[in-house]
Amino acid sequence: MTLHLCVKKEIAQASISVLKKNGLIDVSRKIHTSGNNVLIPILDGAKLPESIQGTTVDTDGIVQEEKIRPLIQPGSFDVIGHIAILKGNEESRHISRAQEILQTRKNIKTVYLDRGVKGDHRTRAIELIAGEDLPETMYRENGITMKVNVRKAYFSPRLATERLLVSGRVRDGELICDMFSGIGPFSISMARNAKVKILAIDSNCDAINILLENLKVNKLAGTVEAICADSSVEILKHGKFDRIVMNLPHNAFDFIASAYASLKKGGVINYYEINTLEGITERMLEFRKMGMKLLWKRVVHGYSKSESLYSMEFEKLSKA
């Protein structure tokens, strides 16, 4: 059996670098391309780093392990209630696309162009390109209902599956901190079916006010306390937690010291980060050095040609 790791061209160089560092490439064979993929020869029995994205195949093309996650396709858009949000810089193409969405999606009344997330409160810089300027809507996912204002507070429907997965791991009796709660999708999802106590913190007071409204329209088994504050300071005032959710993909690690200090031994952190393959491999090593054990990892979706959004759950070891 001759094993190769099949990866997309855009992440091939980073994958090769990681494999070389770990001594997993079979140097007696050549790296070659196949269409949009690159085939990297690996040693038989090689244990691939958890950050590697790709498909392991033998010479007969038999898939051994599937790890590929697709990039968000160009031209795709988020739908939040009656709002569609497009991304990108091709103005003329977006305007025609927006008109097409209004004509074909009868529930859509508003189409915005997302210019990126700005400021300390992580709000979208949006521009109306079609329809009515109605930034506030109601959104439903996984049995919960939320008011969303896309101008006042950041919200992504692309994490719906992630929120379902995390809430499924929560158990009755947990004390949880949602460090960057926004309008409360993680908090409400976790409290919906589990008898937990959740502290939801966000520095965006508009987001916290919307979260408080959302608590009123959902029937929850658990309780949620919402506070507008700097989470790195506020979390230290509330003792130790069984679980901490850190959904701040661009700079969550800046807050890791406060989270670690506030986590019980045996407690877990649900951690999110946008990074390259090499970068996330280094990040997992940093967690390991802190005395954190990786329980699970998955690629939520591609973010750019070289970066992905990673979801990881770490446990604080009792000897840490």
Tens-level pLDDT at each residue, the chain (320 residues) = 567 887 777 678 878 877 887 888 888 888 877 656 788 888 877 777 756 666 676 544 433 443 434 434 445 788 999 999 998 766 667 888 898 899 888 899 999 999 888 777 788 889 999 999 999 999 999 889 999 999 999 999 989 889 988 998 999 999 999 999 999 999 999 999 899 999 999 999 999 999 999 999 999 999 999 999 999 999 999 999 999 999 999 999 999 999 999 999 999 999 999 999 999 999 999 999 999 999 988 888 888 888 999 999 999 997 65
Length of the chain: 320
Angle at 45 between CA 39 and CA 48, to 5 degrees: 60
Name the nearest CA neighbour of 86 among 121, 116, 106: 116
CA within 13 Å, CB half, 116: 5
Tokens of 165: 């997965």
Please report, as a single letter, which amino acid is at residue 189: S
Please report, as a single letter, which amino acid is at residue 109: K
Structure pTM? 0.76
Please report, as a single letter, which amino acid is at residue 173: G
Positive or negative torsion for Cα 219, 177, 189, 197: negative
Q: Tell me, what's the pLDDT at 39?
A: 81
Angle at 228 between CA 232 and CA 286, to 5 degrees: 25
Tokens of 20: 């070389």
Q: In this structure, how many other beta carbons lie within 10 angstroms of the beta carbon of residue 223? A: 12
248 three-class SS: coil
Please give the domain boundaries of the chain with CATH numbers for all domains.
4-66 (3.30.70), 77-134 (3.30.300.110), 157-316 (3.40.50.150)
Q: In this structure, how many other beta carbons lie within 10 angstroms of the beta carbon of residue 71? A: 16
Cβ pair 94, 79 in contact under 8 A: no
Measured distance CA(56)–CA(53) in Å, rounded = 10
Cβ pair 12, 40 in contact under 8 A: yes
Burial class (CB in 10 A: 0-12, 13-18, 19+), 107: exposed
Tokens of 124: 């979208």
Q: Tell me, what's the pLDDT at 124?
A: 87
The three-state (H, E, C) secondary structure of 192-214, written as one string: HHCCCEEEEEECCHHHHHHHHHH
Measured distance CA(283)–CA(250) in Å, rounded = 13
